């Protein structure tokens, strides 16, 4: 079985995000970048499927050379191969554009796959779009936000989280699955894995050379502005006996906030 | 025309879908456009009435037995055939679990871009501008669309419902031509999550616990509060979830859920930046924490420095009293 996992470089979730208003982008200087946490779960799932049977795991990332450490991380965890789909552009926040690039790479260069794994969203663009879009463009079944996955030969079942319930979905391979927290607990890379990943070659595919027509790669979303969220004013803080504090909370909610 | 997809759950149109419909009505009035809604399923025509109350003048009923259980491929196929026929200017979804699953599949089939989980929508001439939180709300980005139709999903619990109208509209039934092959990822079983009545994203009041809860058993204190507070749900910080005290579906924050309830009650939540990102758009925030330096106090409208284990019992009694009035 051939499993492809799509991974993205994102700012660490503990980072404070600063904005360059002129350039309408986030200021990357001083940020530390990590593999998108949901993508890490997707890699772990691929590795578990590999360990349970026979599979080759290949990680793909779209981005500049700065995404190579993310691919090395995937290799160090245990992925067999990694490929960089290279492009030196700023984040477009347009999921369709990203999906088209993945689909073009799959159609023209990497057409041998059984399972395509993603994170349910990147913690950054927060789009939750690319897995579904790739599924549609390739005409494949999709199950997003998956917390349990069972593959049996050419078919599978996935459990997906919705509001207050879980949906069980059956599908046949090839299929698109996106991972949610709870699917597994990603492993730490081993020293041996890190050393092996260091030596491993990562092929680079230039996005420009994937054979796109002129404007197919133009983002269809126009970014008008980017700003910080309106700051929240700190309110009143009290330190009183528990009984009094409890009364004051309820009073505040009812009288001042008029929320109860 | 604005076309709003309405999600049906347990035989009813979801409230967040009616919120999207209400917002469509407000914007469409400004832009002098009509509002239509689409529902998909089997024997669901009777639900159209509610859509008229919330602003639709026309409801398209996409009918096929294969649509009686959700599948993203089948629903996207059915909606695309409707859209090709009626050619809307704007397509709206609520950014629910289904909306986030279905809208991008439909967008790709139409070859248009999509703005997910928007919190504001304005009409600028004939075009929409939408604001969406990115980096879990650490930044807000404003977008317009170069592709048409303009496709948007709206965050639940953000857009107010309009006052129900006393009008009827036109129901247009469409028998969708759908082959088994168009339905490739159908839900075969719905399992209710244990003990979860309402999802944190849908709750009007979220009662959240953090590391200060000290252990899994103490989350019963919060469940107690949600049992007396209407439309409430239990939330949790990442550290509580990572410690295994409570299931991840309760997690609020950057690797959990983004919530915007009317009231967010935070007990023993320190307020790590990734947590604040997920709840700062709550309308009112109340925090109880022992540590006066806890960052949660920087965003709380009302803070209590104190021991949550001592504050919760009298708080429960006070709330009971109030709600009994």
Give the minimum alpha-carbon distance from B215 to chain A in angstroms, rounded to a whole number: 19
Inter-chain residue contact A245 with B311, CB threshold 8 Å: yes
Inter-chain residue contact A163 with B301, CB threshold 8 Å: no
Which of B186, B193, B311 lies closest to A242 in CB terms?
Answer: B311
pLDDT tens-digit series, residues B159-201: 999 999 999 999 999 999 999 899 999 999 999 866 566 899 9
Please give the pLDDT value at position A213.
85
Average pLDDT taken over every residue of chain A: 95
Give the burial string for A76-92 (b: 16+ CB within 10 Å, else e).
bbbbbbbbbbbbeeebb
Dist CA B203 CA B260 (whole Å): 9
Dist CA B275 CA B238 (whole Å): 7
Please give the pLDDT value at position B195.
58
> Which of B12, B113, B262, B324 to mutate against chain A (most A CBs within 10 Å)?
B113
DSSP state of B161: P
Inter-chain residue contact A168 with B190, CB threshold 8 Å: yes
Which of A15, A19, A234 lies closest to B300 in CB terms?
Answer: A234
Mind listing the domains of chain B with CATH numbers? 2-182 (3.40.50.620), 205-324 (3.40.50.1220)
Q: Tokens 């030596």 appear where?
A: A199
pLDDT tens-digit series, residues A122-140: 999 999 999 999 999 999 9
**Would you tell me which residues 154-213 of chain A have a C-beta closer than 8 angstroms to some C-beta of chain B?**
157, 159-172, 175, 180-182
Contacts of residue A142 in chain B, CB cutoff 8 Å? 72-73, 101, 105, 185
The region that residue A121 occupies, defined by phi over 0 for left and psi between -120 and 50 for alpha, beta otherwise, is beta
Which SS3 state, helix, strand or coil, does residue B165 take? coil
**Mean per-residue pLDDT for A110-132?**
97
Instruction: Answer whether residue A100 shows pLDDT above 70.
Output: yes
Mind listing the domains of chain A with CATH numbers? 2-217 (3.40.50.620)
Which of A133, A145, A229 lies closest to B105 in CB terms?
Answer: A133
Instruction: Answer whether residue A164 shows pLDDT above 90.
Output: no
ipTM of the complex: 0.95
Please give the pLDDT value at position B196.
60
Please give the pLDDT value at position A47.
98
User: For residue A254, what are its two tokens?
Assistant: 């009812």
Please give the pLDDT value at position A259.
87
Could you write out the DSSP letters of every residue in B6-32? --EETTEE-HHHHHHHHHHHHHHHHTT
Beta pairing, strands A221-227 & B284-289: unpaired
Which of B104, B253, B297 lies closest to A129 in CB terms?
Answer: B104
Q: Which residues touch A238 (CB under 8 Å, ≥6 apart)? A: A245, A248, B302, B303, B304, B305
Please give the pLDDT value at position A139.
97
pLDDT tens-digit series, residues A178-199: 999 999 999 999 999 999 999 9
Which SS3 state, helix, strand or coil, does residue A22 take? coil
Which of B105, B137, B284 lies closest to A142 in CB terms?
Answer: B105
10 Å CB burial of residue B31 (0-12, 13-18, 19+) is middle
Please give the pLDDT value at position A258.
87
DSSP state of B264: E
Give whole-number Cα distances, B316 to A39, B37, B86, B236, in Å. Answer: 41, 42, 53, 19
Which residues of chain B, if any, have pLDDT below 70? Answer: 193-197
Q: Tokens 């009971």 appear where?
A: B320
Instruction: Answer whether residue A2 shows pLDDT above 90.
Output: yes
Dist CA A205 CA B57 (whole Å): 51
DSSP state of B52: H
Greatest pairwise CA separation for chain B in angstroms: 63
User: For residue B95, what are its two tokens?
Assistant: 């950014």
Inter-chain residue contact B107 with A166, CB threshold 8 Å: no
Which SS3 state, helix, strand or coil, does residue A165 take? strand
Give whole-number Cα distances, B130 to A176, A186, B124, B156, B202, in Å. Answer: 29, 36, 10, 15, 21
Give the minimum alpha-carbon distance from B88 to chain A in angstroms, rounded to a whole number: 18
């Amino acid at each position: 079985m051939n499993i492809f996992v799509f991974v993205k470089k994102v700012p660490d979730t503990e980072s404070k995000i600063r904005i360059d208003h002129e350039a309408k982008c986030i200021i990357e200087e001083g940020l530390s970048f990590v593999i998108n946490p949901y993508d890490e779960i997707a890699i772990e799932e691929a590795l578990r499927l590999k360990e349970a049977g026979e599979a080759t795991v290949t990680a793909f990332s779209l981005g500049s050379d700065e995404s190579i450490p993310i691919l090395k991380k995937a290799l160090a965890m245990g992925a067999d191969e990694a490929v960089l789909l290279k492009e030196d552009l700023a984040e477009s926040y347009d999921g369709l554009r990203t999906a088209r690039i993945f689909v073009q790479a799959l159609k023209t260069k990497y057409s041998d796959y059984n399972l395509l794994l993603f994170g349910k969203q990147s913690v950054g663009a927060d789009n939750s779009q690319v897995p579904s879009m790739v599924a549609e463009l390739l005409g494949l079944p999709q199950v997003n936000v998956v917390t349990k996955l069972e593959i049996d030969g050419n078919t599978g079942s996935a459990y997906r989280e919705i509001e207050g319930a879980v949906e069980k979905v059956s599908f046949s391979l090839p299929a698109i699955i996106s991972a949610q927290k709870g699917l597994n607990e990603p492993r730490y890379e081993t020293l041996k894995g890190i050393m092996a990943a260091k030596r491993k070659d990562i092929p680079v595919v230039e996005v420009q050379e994937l054979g796109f027509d002129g404007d197919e790669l133009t983002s269809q979303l126009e970014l008008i502005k980017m700003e910080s969220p309106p700051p929240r004013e700190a309110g009143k803080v009290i330190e009183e006996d528990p009984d009094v504090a409890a009364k004051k909370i309820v009073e505040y909610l009812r009288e001042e906030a008029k929320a109860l | 025309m604005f076309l709003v997809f309405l999600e049906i759950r347990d035989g009813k149109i979801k409230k967040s879908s009616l919120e999207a419909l209400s917002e469509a009505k407000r914007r469409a009035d400004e832009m002098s456009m009509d509002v239509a809604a689409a529902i998909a399923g089997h024997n669901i025509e009777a639900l159209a009435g509610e859509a008229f109350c919330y602003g639709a003048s026309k409801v398209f009923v996409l009918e096929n037995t294969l649509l009686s259980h959700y599948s993203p491929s089948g629903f996207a196929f059915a909606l695309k055939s409707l859209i090709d026929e009626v050619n809307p200017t704007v397509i709206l979804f609520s950014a629910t679990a289904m909306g986030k699953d279905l809208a991008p599949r439909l967008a790709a089939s139409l070859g248009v871009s999509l703005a997910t989980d928007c919190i504001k929508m304005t009409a600028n001439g004939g075009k929409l501008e939408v604001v969406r939180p990115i980096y879990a709300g650490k930044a807000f980005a404003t977008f317009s669309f170069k592709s048409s139709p303009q496709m948007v999903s709206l965050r639940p619990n953000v857009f107010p419902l309009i006052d129900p109208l006393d009008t009827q509209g036109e129901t247009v039934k469409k028998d969708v031509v759908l082959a088994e092959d168009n339905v490739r990822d159908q839900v075969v079983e719905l399992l209710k999550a244990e003990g979860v009545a309402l999802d944190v994203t849908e709750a009007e009041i979220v009662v959240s616990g953090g590391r200060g809860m000290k252990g899994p058993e103490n989350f019963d204190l919060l469940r107690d509060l949600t049992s007396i507070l209407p439309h409430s749900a239990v939330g949790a910080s990442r550290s509580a979830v990572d410690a295994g005290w409570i299931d991840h579906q309760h997690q609020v924050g950057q690797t959990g859920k983004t919530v915007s309830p009317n009231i967010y009650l935070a007990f023993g939540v320190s307020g790590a930046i990734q947590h604040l990102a997920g709840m700062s758009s709550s309308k009112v925030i109340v925090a109880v924490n022992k540590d006066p330096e806890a960052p949660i106090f920087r965003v709380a409208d009302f803070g209590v420095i104190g021991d949550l284990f001592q504050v919760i019992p009298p708080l429960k009694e006070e709330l009971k009293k109030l709600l009994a009035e």
